[in-house]
Structure 1
Amino acid sequence: MEKLGVTAPARSVPQLARFLTRHLHWLAAQPPAADFAGETESLVAELRSTIDPDPTSLHTLIRQCVVEDCAGTISASPKNTGTSGSRSIECSAGHSWEMHEWLTLRQLMERQRKGVSA
């Protein structure tokens, strides 16, 4: 704060945010700025992986298909379909559920798990 010739802001989110915004160019030019940015980037990546883990790192859920008389299995590991980048869940016999159908599929799987006919 001495190098900037300003007093320290109050320890509140709005005051600290204003301070950072006003002095961003000066702060970014300081030698430790690159280390701080790297540490922040690592923290953000860790938080994102906690909130939204990489689907390839999860254990894949495998269940019997919910379609009546289908002997296939559902591998609940979403796959990109087509060039649109939309995602779907498929059974080994070829049944497929697009993202907008996943809640319905989940309900059907839950009914099946409890032994309730659909």
Structure 2
Amino acid sequence: MVHPCLRKHTHESSAATGYILCAPCISQTERNLRTIPGLHQECLHQVSPTSRRINPTKVSGSRRRDHLNISVLDARYNILATLESWSEMVAEKLSAAAPERSVPQLARFLARHLQWLASQPPAADFADEIEGLVAELRSAMDPDPGDLGTLIRKCVMDNCGGTISAFPKSGGTARSRSIECSAGHSWEMHEWLNLRRLMEQQRKGVDA
């Protein structure tokens, strides 16, 4: 019996034999999984203009910018969390050893088990989320100029009323290698991922 692919298409597409997804969806998901580690590494050089100029790698269409791209930290956090969640599910269902907690290892693990994933009920959700991660990374590295005002966060330090902005402080320079809040708190480059975790904890506290 022929079943339709569970993902939304502009045209009707049948699932491949034995799978939930059609062959093009499976192939595209595999390409996305192989693309994610490179984009994940490249986005490190998008967080600040200085590191972007030093690194010769270039994502097509990227614009030069003079702000610290906090949204990249959001994208990196989401990628690791999403890949880890799916990998844990696969490892549990297949009684396989879970991969190392790194984006390259997690992506390779999921690519190896993609044929199995494509035959499971949540296959469409998996393909959608992986495609969404790629889109989120590309958008974070090359944002629409009209979206830059959203790259502002409340300072994560206790009892601080300042805000953390994606833009350098007035009188600053595009060569700045630190993120600062309006009240003077500062985080150097090696602290940025920890800053992202603090932002996530703060967001969860507000949503609770």
Task: Quickly name the TM-score band, shorter chain normalised.
Answer: 0.3 to 0.5
Give TM-score, length-normalised by structure 1: 0.45
Q: Which has the higher contact order (CA 8 A, sep 6+)?
A: 2
Give TM-score, length-normalised by structure 2: 0.28
Q: Which is higher, the Rg of structure 1 or of structure 2?
A: 1
More helix by share: 2
